[in-house]
Amino acid sequence: MQIVVDLTRCQGYAQCVFLAPEVFELHGEEALLYNPAVPDDQLDRVRQAAAACPVQAILLGEE
Ligand code: F3S
């Protein structure tokens, strides 16, 4: 699964980092790094992260 984070929306709420720390990493308050090609064993966590993001910045590309 591919993901895109809309960094113009992301406000550094860090729910994604709590829920899927192997995919998302926050540097400072608003510099979010992430792995756009999600490993299979992280799919559920990334779906939870996308649902939990308060500004819906995480876009999932389901295959
Ligand atoms: Fe940003 Fe949403 Fe994560 S605001 S830090 S993508 S929970």
CA of 37 to the centre of ligand 1 (A): 17
Residue with tokens 């993001």: 53
Task: Go through the chain and tell me how many residues it has.
Answer: 63
pLDDT at 29: 72
Q: Which residue has the tokens 């729910």?
A: 15
Q: Ligand 1 within 6 A of 10 CB?
A: yes
**Residue in 27, 32, 38 to alter for ligand 1 test, most ligand atoms within 8 A of Cβ:** 32
Q: For all residues of the chain together, what is the average pLDDT?
A: 94
Q: Is 2 a pocket residue for ligand 1 (Cβ < 6 Å)?
A: no
| Residue-number span of the structural domain to which 17 is assigned | 2-35+43-55
Which two structure tokens, joined as six digits, stand for 36? 């756009």
Report the CATH number that the domain containing residue 15 is assigned in CATH.
3.30.70.20
Number of domains within the chain? 1
Q: Give the per-residue pLDDT at 63.
A: 61
pLDDT at 22: 97
Nearest CA among 25, 43, 28 for reference residue 5 = 25
Q: Has residue 63 been placed in a domain? A: no
Residue 23 lies in a domain: yes
Q: Evaluate whether residue 61 is within a structural domain.
A: no
Please give the structure tokens belonging to residue 11: 């406000």
By the 8 A CB rule, do 63 and 53 touch? no
Q: Read off the pLDDT of residues 5-26 as tens digits, 9 standing for 90 and up.
A: 999 999 999 999 999 999 999 9
